[in-house]
Structure 1
């Protein structure tokens, strides 16, 4: 029924217009009464041509959409599209979709005002036929697209208009064979495709980020595990030797080892540590070494009480102390002193472990796996937010410094990076 009324409306419009034209011509230009029959034939022919054109328009709209209603039959199409991105991103998506339309010739876009106007070359599906040339369906100049993006919180609301470049009253006579319907639907599909691509990219990025976090945690755990067995093996080996020569000292060493383990094992590999907790671990470690080195080992700690609760990477302080003793104090006759100094400067917590041992002239001087692990763990946990330096200490020995973002208490930056 909708198709019938549409064809009837177009045919009636052409019939009335041609009848008025024929009457005007007959009264002003022609004086032969016999010419009225010829004019009547012309009016009937124009009406028939209009009916065929309207029928073709209806069939093509049905072919495009599968349904015929006043909205799909109209030559002027309006769409309201909601895009789940902020207005600027929505504008970019719409602008790109319009530029990719077949026949797009001139696109004027203003990002500040969130508006796009474009001229689309008229691509009639049946252009070239005599029937459509006679009825003006080759098109005046083409179609146009007008888009306005309205910010809607974190989303963008798009008003899309696709219409012929001619007066609205001409829609009673001229049809576009569904060209603007095609343009409106094509832009809608393009926007939906680009939104879907953006969602897929975001999902892929989220999966990749989660995978990278899992790999980071696994690598941190592996690097952590490379440190603890090394110390445990050396301690148990020394205790085994002392059981033969000095059982009392062996018993004391095993007691200190229990204290060390009590401070170490209850925490998970990726758990948050504090500087105070690491100091307790180091003291237990040094108590074990003091049994073997005796007065050759001295310790000075300069860490203010408020800094004990500051987050600090687990096992790193012990690694620096172990390196200072192994490469600096043990090879030196008479031993020496280990200093542990903590300061806060420009939002960074710097912890320095210094010794007055043999320095870089000793075997390796801090190029072993322990310090490589420190650098790698800092990179994985903090990226460019942390630093590690190792320099000569005056007048002898080595000073190694770790600098990490300072947090007075609460969640550590490492945990924020690992658990998002």
Structure 2
């Protein structure tokens, strides 16, 4: 209430004083003795019109903001907004918000200095544009407006200062009120910024949700691929142990012991407990011991894996898949069996693990369905992207050599020189 009363008094006094000065200047030479009787009446009418204009301004400010203070009643408004964005993103957001304001005619922006200046055409809120454009009344209107915004970069956020004001000089604010137009521009710009920040956050949330969903699908697919490798080996081993219990109980007991060792290393692990070359090698040794009982002297094994490479992280079941593939398609179909080599070598930031055999090689008789090798490729792609690779070539003088290359990542606390 006090702010409204002060605005009315200030505007009325300003117009009254201005009118008095004009009357004294005009009529000084014509009426030296005393001014005519209608001069006080004109001054009262002018002050009354100024008071009505101030009351109209107060009423519209109340409609726009519902709060009438000296800040909201002003023709010029300054706002400071803190945005949780980097400076370049905030600058682009502010510029786009200003360009979409009603009446924006010219927008000048400087990305290097993080400044935006715009001219906003004023639309008369209470009367037709025809009357506002008349030469007699045009000066009495507040004229066009302008917006100046600057972005101050910070570490994790930035600060935006916005100034909305008329294009005319500041001293005219004593006589001319803008009917809340710049307050309306300030609030509209604030709403536009809030909307765009909300849309940006929504997009980021959707992208994060999509990433989580893709990760869950990847884990599910990895589990499915992993599950495809294990069951048939378990069935075959149990069937072999059942047969050996009748003919060779000692071998059956040894096979079941190796199977227990194998299954102990095959128990499901949490996502935060990765496997290593050492763990996979122990699992594969148990598998090979089982296969030695089944194949006898037809299977020979040579392993050359340095101890310092055993803590290197390695996808579970992949080593056994290569060994199983070599036995099933390379050595078992061959009358005299053969040898399997397991070799591990470090090269720069990668570790190459090779499984080679001297079996039947890439012959039509020895070819399988290829599901196991496709699973290896797919699991490597899902787990490592382009940083891992898988290759399979012919061995010399016969057989096949399959190699998996993975980044050299040691399990925490296990790295050795």
Q: TM-score, normalised by structure 1?
A: 0.91
C-alpha distance in 2, partners of 1:226/1:360? Answer: 23
Q: Which residue of 2 is the match for residue 393 of structure 1?
A: 395
Q: 1:165 aligns with which of 158, 164, 167?
A: 167
The alignment status of 1:330 with 2:332, answered yes or no, reads yes
Contact 2:8/2:51 (8 A) holds in 1? yes
Flag the 1:123–1:266 CA change in 2: closer, same or farther, 3 A: closer
The alignment status of 1:58 with 2:58, answered yes or no, reads yes
Q: Which residue of 2 is the match for residue 115 of structure 1?
A: 115
Q: Which residue of 2 is the match for residue 10 of structure 1?
A: 11
Q: Which residue of 1 is the match for residue 240 of structure 2?
A: 238
C-alpha distance in 1, partners of 2:24/2:172? Answer: 21
Flag the 1:302–1:130 CA change in 2: closer, same or farther, 3 A: closer
C-alpha distance in 1, partners of 2:413/2:213? Answer: 22
Residue by residue over 1:203-232, the C-alpha shift from the partner in whole angstroms, topping out at 9 and shown as x without a partner, is: 222332222222222222222122121211
Alpha-carbon offset, residue 129 of structure 1: 6.7
Contact 1:221/1:270 (8 A) holds in 2? no
Flag the 1:34–1:263 CA change in 2: closer, same or farther, 3 A: closer
Contact 1:109/1:115 (8 A) holds in 2? yes
1:73 alignment partner, SS class: coil
Alpha-carbon offset, residue 33 of structure 1: 7.7
Flag the 1:227–1:411 CA change in 2: closer, same or farther, 3 A: farther
C-alpha distance in 2, partners of 1:395/1:138? Answer: 101
Give unmatched runs, 5+ long, in structure 1. 413-420
C-alpha distance in 1, partners of 2:366/2:113? Answer: 65
Residue by residue over 1:16-68, the C-alpha shift from the partner in whole angstroms, topping out at 9 and shown as x without a partner, is: 1111111111124x469897344444433332222221111111001101121
The alignment status of 1:144 with 2:135, answered yes or no, reads no
Contact 2:123/2:129 (8 A) holds in 1? no
Q: Which residue of 2 is the match for residue 48 of structure 1?
A: 48
Q: Which residue of 1 is the match for residue 225 of structure 2?
A: 223
C-alpha distance in 2, partners of 1:138/1:124? Answer: 12
C-alpha distance in 1, partners of 2:268/2:106? Answer: 69
| Equivalent runs, 1:88-107 vs 2, <5 Å | 88-107=88-107
Moved more, 71-80 or 254-263: 254-263
Q: Which residue of 2 is the match for residue 81 of structure 1?
A: 81
Contact 1:145/1:160 (8 A) holds in 2? yes
Flag the 1:366–1:404 CA change in 2: closer, same or farther, 3 A: farther
| Equivalent runs, 1:3-402 vs 2, <5 Å | 3-28=4-29, 30=30, 36-128=36-128, 134-136=136-138, 139=141, 141-265=143-267, 267-268=269-270, 271-363=273-365, 365=367, 367-402=369-404
Q: Which residue of 2 is the match for residue 415 of structure 1?
A: none
Flag the 1:268–1:182 CA change in 2: closer, same or farther, 3 A: closer
Contact 1:118/1:146 (8 A) holds in 2? yes
C-alpha distance in 1, partners of 2:375/2:140? Answer: 75
2:409 alignment partner, SS class: coil
Residue by residue over 1:310-333, the C-alpha shift from the partner in whole angstroms, topping out at 9 and shown as x without a partner, is: 000010000000001101111122
C-alpha distance in 2, partners of 1:303/1:362? Answer: 32
Q: Which residue of 2 is the match for residue 405 of structure 1?
A: 407
2:109 alignment partner, SS class: strand
C-alpha distance in 2, partners of 1:374/1:194? Answer: 45
Give unmatched runs, 5+ long, in structure 2. none
RMSD across aligned positions (CA): 2.4
Contact 1:124/1:138 (8 A) holds in 2? no
1:158 alignment partner, SS class: strand
C-alpha distance in 1, partners of 2:76/2:9? Answer: 19
Alpha-carbon offset, residue 147 of structure 1: 1.1
Flag the 1:392–1:127 CA change in 2: closer, same or farther, 3 A: farther
1:69 alignment partner, SS class: coil
Flag the 1:127–1:288 CA change in 2: closer, same or farther, 3 A: same
Contact 2:142/2:176 (8 A) holds in 1? no
Contact 2:334/2:360 (8 A) holds in 1? yes
